Amino acid sequence: MPTQGTDGRQAHGLGAAVKEVAERASSIVRLELELAIIELKRKIISLGLGIAFALVAAIMLLFVSSSALRSRPSLPHWRRPCRRGSRC
C-alpha cells in the first residue's frame, strides 16, 4: 500500500523509504560541511584582523617609546642624566 511522503511524493515500500533517508542524510552532511567552511572562514578573518591590530599596536608602541627616549624634557630635574660640564 503506497503512503504519502513528507514532500508530497508517493512512497512505495521500504526501499523507497531507505532511499529517501539516504538522500536526506547526504543533504544534511553537505549542508553541515558548507556551514563548517563558512564558520572557518569567519574565524580565519577574525584571527587575521586580531593579528593585524596587534602588529599596529606594537609598531605604535615602538614609535612612541623611541620618540620618548629621544626627547627627555619630560623627565623631572632630578632624573635627568648628568652632562659633562654641568652640575649634577
Domain assignment present for 40: yes
Domain assignment present for 78: no
What pLDDT digit, counting tens, does each position of 18-52 carry? 999 999 999 999 999 999 999 999 999 999 999 99
**Number of structural domains, the chain?**
1
Q: Which three cell numbers stand for residue 12?
A: 512505495
Domain assignment present for 23: yes
From the number of C-beta atoms within 10 Å of its C-beta (0-12, 13-18, 19+), residue 64 rates as: exposed
- The residue count of the chain comes to 88
Of the two residues 66 and 18, the one the predictor is more confident about is 18
Q: Which domain holds residue 30?
A: 3-72
Domain assignment present for 87: no
Domain assignment present for 86: no
Give percent of the chain with pLDDT exceeding 70. 64
Domain assignment present for 54: yes
